[in-house]
Structure 1
């Protein structure tokens, strides 16, 4: 079977299962981050998921495929088809090799060339949609093409990361690892996109520490918490649709972060402690440093979803940043702008709200 991508042909043929690969999943280290971001803070803990084979979402990818196999929804050797902005695609490429399934991914024209090459190198078929949908942006366009592929591939399985509860369940091991690494935890900072790890990690940790304060971190231009959907430069967090996996009731507050703030934070991490990553990493690190600074004595932890490698041509590229007006505003503010309700003001930079609502259930 041949899958035609925008630029070249990728192949998604039979895959021999390599279950021994599953031993490479998880058990990532926790790093103590004390570099000023941009101001001094007492430090916070970061779970370095970029050091796991397949990255952060390999945990979810394996859980979703295993769950589908157990329910009979995914036959042995059947293809797996999914929409991705990159991170889940790498996780599914890992899970497909480990469990013996060809993987066909639908990305978009903004998917970084390095990630396209990596996905193909790992054996995934790749299609790229060329235009965002008028409503729902790139995500809606990808899902529309995905549905066409499902019609053309009888027996193919769509994990549907946005709404699949196995996505959430896949992060139970991460919660256990964080809990076992710390004597106590006061604040957990989670990036929010499909809702997987932000729904799967806090629950088990709250059972251990019932007063745990959970902060959700979203991208400006994301509709998850009731802000208007706008074109987004940042990838890996935020959404133009409403994933059912997002558990709005878990969060005590939400922060929206913009690309300039994420870039500044990522670069400070890279220069100051050699531990850095992409858009989500910059966003959660900024908020985790603020939480540690404003809650004296609190133990703060977050998750760095990936490393810096796929962002060499974006976050860490001066020309790219200048083209997008990043780097001209100076360092991030000392604190976020406070708003009373997610619909009170449109967030255009770092913004905090202590009223968290599900926009599908809350009246306008």
Structure 2
């Protein structure tokens, strides 16, 4: 296999397009009224949110001598990081080979091909670990036949986390105060990369994680997942478990309902991750009156026109936005009950360490907060 014909010329001027995304005030009912929260619109940045991480991982590898000039970059992706790596590959002059799976949307495949990416598709999920495990198995096969190829390993690469320092710096400038930060969790990179520098500005900042039902990141059993972009069938070591104050699991109905409400009432919207964090951010703003709440919308809606915004798709998959939960079910521990819809837990667990990290005693209750019960 040769990638000579795919090797791009470095375009370092593209790096000037990275970041500096706008911050929007969201007041749309999701589904109930709330005081509003701030959303960082990463979908309006070149390469999307994960371009920050992609550039950071490639630059870090080059500095350590792990990635040589013009060498190929190989990674597994459900799509979003793929766009970021396509951006980083063009900017830094590296051909990009991505391993996706047969559930990758046709629009995303077209985008990746358009950006010059070589796409390798696996057709069957692994018996253990699902699509992620199948993609990683194929990735290792490619590494064996691509001389000098570099695998960023987004799930366990600290440079993934440090890539979001610029996002944290932008939020610190754009906001005068921040009490609650709501982050979707997939690789764990952006939540870990944001919380440390932002707590340097606001030590009482609470971090709320948003996971997908069927994801095993926070100790739930791994199940087949319809939503892409958040959740995992493996345990990424970039997840900063001890930084979270609570975690919410969101199902497809809640994400779809939120995305469509955002589109109708706020114009800015996105995909599964955006719908999930918007739901939780609106809830946090409602139950913590007076608190300043912010979240990150990782991308825009275009990738999801045939899924989240397609009635035929949602009907075929048994998703009825009218059935979406309006508040979370409380569970005492991640292993106490399986979350099949919106659920919340204030005890955060690293499933590999088998250590429970309770945050209910943290002295960081947001201003004007008198109760953690969901009382609209």
Q: TM-score, normalised by structure 1?
A: 0.96
Residues 315-359 of structure 1 deviation map (CA, whole Å, 9 limit, x = unaligned)? 0000000001112x6253331000000000000000000010100
Q: Number of paired residues?
A: 356
Equivalent residues of 2:329, 2:342 under 8 A apart:
yes
C-alpha deviation, 1:15, in angstroms: 1.0
Find out whether 1:353 has 2:345 as its counterpart: yes
Write the distance in 1 (CA, Å) between the matches of 2:54 and 2:13: 16
Write the distance in 2 (CA, Å) between the matches of 1:18 and 1:317: 37
SS of structure 1 residue aligned to 2:322 = coil
Which of residues 325, 331, 351 is equivalent to 1:339? 331
Which of residues 200, 204, 209 is equivalent to 2:197? 204
2:99 matched to which residue of 1?
106
Could you say if the C-alpha distance between residues 161 and 238 of structure 1 is closer, same or farther in structure 2, counting changes exceeding 3 Å? Answer: same
SS of structure 2 residue aligned to 1:310 = helix
SS of structure 2 residue aligned to 1:276 = coil
SS of structure 2 residue aligned to 1:356 = strand
Write the distance in 1 (CA, Å) between the matches of 2:199 and 2:49: 21
Find out whether 1:229 has 2:222 as its counterpart: yes
SS of structure 2 residue aligned to 1:357 = strand
Write the distance in 1 (CA, Å) between the matches of 2:349 and 2:136: 26
Find out whether 1:165 has 2:158 as its counterpart: yes
Write the distance in 2 (CA, Å) between the matches of 1:363 and 1:31: 37
2:209 matched to which residue of 1?
216
Which of residues 31, 35, 48 is equivalent to 1:42? 35
Equivalent residues of 2:66, 2:150 under 8 A apart:
yes
Write the distance in 2 (CA, Å) between the matches of 1:108 and 1:331: 29
Residues 182-227 of structure 1 deviation map (CA, whole Å, 9 limit, x = unaligned)? 1000000000000110110011001110000110000000000000
1:266 matched to which residue of 2?
259
1:70 matched to which residue of 2?
63
Write the distance in 2 (CA, Å) between the matches of 1:14 and 1:251: 41
Which ranges of 4 or more aligned residues in structure 1 deviate by more than 6 Å?
Answer: none
